[in-house]
Amino acid sequence: MDRVFIEGLEVDTVIGVYDWERGIRQCLRLDLSMAWDNRPAAGGDDLSKALDYAAVTARIQAFATEAHFLLVETFAERLAEVLMAEFGIPGLHLKLTKPGAVPAASGVGVEIVRGCL
């Protein structure tokens, strides 16, 4: 299976378990690798058969704007569900980083794999 990827996408959202986090927006960095058969799109040079990463990016940004989760785990799981359902993605690998959450680290977060890659 081919893969379409988006790397280093930064979105602002309400995320965190502490009271002070509930009143601010914080940056999350996302790296996605999504299973997709690119042959139909490539065969006819046809965008309608491609996984449109611009549309996926716009959906991720809209999701982040609306989200208000405590855990990065919940954000990642719900986002994966949305993307797979709305775009018909058969599998994805999502790495979600919360920069600055631990002062001694450049970032912390989760990686999830759903479906077949």
Q: Kindly give the pairing relationship between strand 108-115 and strand 68-69.
A: unpaired
Separation of alpha carbons 78 and 63, rounded Å: 9
The answer to whether the CB of 17 falls within 8 A of the CB of 70 is yes
CA dihedral 71, 74, 79, 80 (to 10 degrees): 130
* Known catalytic membership, residue 98: yes
What element of type H or E holds 84?
helix 72-87
The active-site residue out of 15, 60, 93, 98 is 98
Catalytic residues: 98
